[in-house]
Amino acid sequence: MLNTKQPVLRRFWYAVMPVDHLKDGPRPFTLLGEPIVLFLDGKGEPAALEDRCCHRTAKLSKGWCKDGNIVCGYHGWEYDRDGKLVMIPQFPFEQPIPEAKARSFHAQTRYGYVWVALDEPLSDIPDIPEDRTAGYRRIHQFYDKWNTAALRLMENSFDNAHFAFVHKGTFGDINQPKPEKYEIVETDYGFDAETIITIRNPPNAARITGTTDPTTKRHQRNKWFMPFCRRLDMEYPSGIRHIIFNCATPVSDGQIQVVQILFRNDTEADCSTQELIDWDAAIIAEDRDMLESTDPDAIVDMGRKIEKHMPSDRPGMIMRKRLLDLLHSHNEEEQPRQQIA
Ligand code: FES
Ligand code: CO
């Protein structure tokens, strides 16, 4: 599936940038192949416009903010948060400004990130109750570009067969290749997926998992939110909850912006932010290395043309089917890869 060629994918919210990144002025981003500019309006709310001035097509992201509007850096034309042209500084004061607009998109802040939907959203931003639950802290772990498809990261999240191999350097056990089963319940937003896995618990993981045992169990109550968000809710026997939320924001067909936010029910004294970042950085680097080696076209048509499958691929197969159903329910056909000669 080519994400940029499926209009229905424009109707979901994606996490695009930590809102902090906008405090010094406008910033560009490419979402589903669409160049946009993000900035803060007069109330400090994020705004998203096409990154193109209607005068001589300069990128608005090269400009600056003024009183909650964005000013083009080329000749100073000024737009409000809805993209309406409100000022042409070369015009005399009494001369009316022509009706003109930069296209605007839906934007809001959640979990410290700016989220954008390019067209009318079909659903809300996935809810994370722990963000408003006492006793939990929120840590922005990663914000990186990966050269892979969004669906690849989603499928990998629910693939219990890769731990023993990809993660043999961290929590996986190469001698235990047999994957644990997932219990999957499909929902309107995607699915809930529950599993209990045994992981290696090396000494540097003791403060992460809350135990010094050489192995420990991880009870996972995970969720997939269509199309490209996931929640990995890991509970250890120590009572520690390690909840990873990701958005695999599609930049293009072969590139994603990986957003990873962690929620933990412990304190900085129990396990520091840096320890948590370092621990998950080693794990996610293992995933990244492998996922960037896969074919970025995720082949939604159940992989019939190219890929072979095994039973533990079932969560990913459900995703592919649900995404195909989504396309069909919006009268879209899957746009396949370019034919390789
Ligand atoms: Fe933007 Fe001229 S190109 S003001
Ligand atoms: Co992994």
Q: Provide the CATH number for the domain around residue 29.
A: 2.102.10.10
Determine, yes or no, domain membership for 341. no
Indicate which residue's Cα is closest to atom 2 of ligand 1. 75
| Within-domain flag for 334 | no
Whether residue 186 sits in one domain with residue 97: no
What per-residue confidence (pLDDT) applies to 341?
44
Any atom of ligand 1 within 6 Å of the Cβ of 60: no
Q: Judge if 205 and 278 occupy the same domain.
A: yes
Residue 17 belongs to some domain of the structure:
yes
Helices and strands in the chain, H and E counts: 5, 17
Looking at residue 303, what is its pLDDT? 65
Token code pair at residue 96: 């009316």
**pLDDT value of residue 306:** 79
Q: How many of the other CB atoms lie within 10 Å of CB of 309?
A: 12
SS3 content of the chain, % helix, strand, coil (to 5): 20, 30, 45
Residue 106: domain span? 3-117
In a domain, 330, yes or no: no
**Alpha-carbon Rg for the chain in angstroms:** 22
Phi/psi for 119 (5° steps) reads -125, 175
Task: For residues 158 and 182, give the distance between their C-alpha atoms in angstroms, rounded to a whole number.
Answer: 8
Please say whether the beta carbons of 80 and 68 come within 8 A: yes
Co-location of 101 and 133 in the same domain: no
| Residue type (1 letter), 340 | I
Say what the pLDDT of residue 302 is.
63
Residue 105's SS3 state is: strand
Q: Please give the distance of CA 226 from its chain centroid, rounded to a whole number.
A: 11
Amino acid residing at 242: H
> How far away, in angstroms, is 217 Cα from ligand 2 center?
16
Q: Is residue 181 situated within a structural domain? A: yes
Question: Does residue 333 sit within a domain?
Answer: no
Q: Is 197 found in the same domain as 284? A: yes
Question: Which tokens is 84 given?
Answer: 């309406």
> Of 117, 148, 167, which one is at a domain's C-terminal end?
117
Does 91 sit in the ligand 1 pocket, CB within 6 Å? no
Q: Which atom of ligand 1 has the smallest separation from the CA of 60?
A: 1
pTM of the model: 0.95
Residue 135 sits in the same domain as residue 108: no
Mutate-to-test residue for ligand 1 from 51, 60, 72, highest number of ligand atoms within 8 A of CB: 72
Backbone φ and ψ for 320, nearest 5 degrees, come out as -60, -40
pLDDT per residue, tens digit, the chain (341 aa), is: 888 989 999 999 999 999 999 999 999 999 999 999 999 999 999 999 999 999 999 999 999 999 999 999 999 999 999 999 999 999 998 999 999 999 999 999 999 999 999 999 999 999 999 999 999 999 999 999 999 999 999 999 999 999 999 999 999 999 999 999 999 999 999 999 999 999 999 898 999 999 999 999 999 999 999 999 999 999 999 999 999 999 999 999 999 999 999 999 999 999 999 999 999 999 999 999 999 999 877 666 766 667 889 999 999 999 999 999 999 999 998 887 665 44
Angle (CA) 112 157 304, round 5° = 130
182 and 219 part of one domain: yes
Name, in order, each residue with C-beta under 8 angstroms of 185's C-beta and a sequence gap of 6 or more.
Answer: 191, 192, 193
Ligand 1 neighbour 75 (Cβ under 6 A):
yes
Tokens (6 digits) for 265? 């029910």
- 210 and 74 share one domain: no
Q: Which of 91, 117, 143 is the last residue of a domain?
A: 117
Residues 330/331/335/336 CA torsion (nearest 10 deg)? 110
The closest ligand to the CA of 159 turns out to be 2
Determine if ligand 1 sits within 6 Å of the CB of residue 54.
Answer: no
* The predicted structure's pLDDT at residue 298: 63
Of 266, 274, 337, 331, the closest CA to residue 306 belongs to 337
Here the tokens at position 190 are 């995607």
Q: Are 117 and 36 in contact (CB under 8 A)?
A: no
Output phi, psi for 30, to 5 deg. Answer: -115, 120
Element spanning 116, H or E: strand 113-117
Distance in angstroms (rounded) separating the CA atoms of residues 164 and 308:
20
Q: Are residues 58 and 168 in the same domain?
A: no
Burial, 301: exposed, middle or buried (Cβ in 10 Å; 0-12, 13-18, 19+)? middle
Q: Does residue 336 belong to any structural domain of this protein?
A: no
Domain match, 14 and 65 both: yes
Same domain as 111, residue 53: yes
Cβ of 55 closer than 6 Å to ligand 1, yes or no, is yes
Say how many Å lie between the CA of residue 157 and the centre of ligand 2: 6
Q: 169 with 306, same domain? A: yes
Residue 234 burial (CB count, 10 A)? 18
User: What is the number of domains present in the chain?
Assistant: 2
- Is 59 within a domain? yes
Domain co-membership, 184 together with 209? yes
pLDDT at 304: 66
Q: Is 87 in the pocket of ligand 1 (CB under 6 A)?
A: no
Q: Which residues pair with 137 in a beta bridge?
A: 264
Ligand 1 contacts CB of residue 88 (under 6 A): no
Token pair in block for residue 103: 């296209």
What pLDDT shows up at residue 307? 87
